[in-house]
Amino acid sequence: NAGVTQTPKFQVLKTGQSMTLQCAQDMNHNSMYWYRQDPGMGLRLIYYSASEGTTDKGEVPNGYNVSRLNKREFSLRLESAAPSQTSVYFCASSGQGVGVRGYTFGSGTRLTVV
């Protein structure tokens, strides 16, 4: 099925380790996003890419970096993981403008930092 694919689904890291979360979409969407979801706090935007070749900070960018590799792929990197980064991470994409008509989300990566 067409959509947004994220890998891995689950990951446990030790404090200080690094990792990259991968995301790919096959809907030819221009815009892609990384969100984190924590209990009682809703989804918070980490970084977004309005179009291929551009990236911008969202609400909670500290401790993260992103790469828009091409139109399909948008990765999120944690350089030195901290327990505060324990969360569920969602990649999303949108076609018409930046999220104007809604987002298509991946199924998430559940990350635990110990």
| CB nearer other proteins, residue 42 or residue 53 | 42
Instruction: Give whichever of 75 and 104 is closer to other proteins, judged by the CB atom.
Output: 104
DSSP symbols for 79-95:
SS--GGG-EEEEEEEES
Looking at this protein, which amino acid is placed at residue 99? G
Interface region with other proteins, contact rule CB under 8 A, candidates 12-20, 36-44, 66-74, 78-86: 36-44
Q: Which of 29, 103, 111, 113 binds other proteins (CB under 8 A)?
A: 103
Residue from 7, 15, 26, 41 that binds other proteins (CB under 8 A)? 41
Contact region with other proteins (CB under 8 A), list: 11-19, 61-69, 74-82, 89-97: 89-97
Whole-angstrom distance, CA of residue 12 vs CA of residue 28? 32
Q: Which of 23, 24, 66, 92 binds other proteins (CB under 8 A)?
A: 92
Say which residues have a Cβ less than 8 Å from residue 1's Cβ, sequence separation at least 6. none
Please name the residues in contact with 105: beta carbons below 8 A apart, sequence gap of 6 or more: 4, 90, 91, 92
Cβ closer to other proteins: 59 or 79? 59
Under rule CB under 8 A, how many of the chain's residues touch other proteins? 26
Q: In what helix (H) or strand (E) does residue 5 lie, and over which residues does it extend?
A: strand 4-7
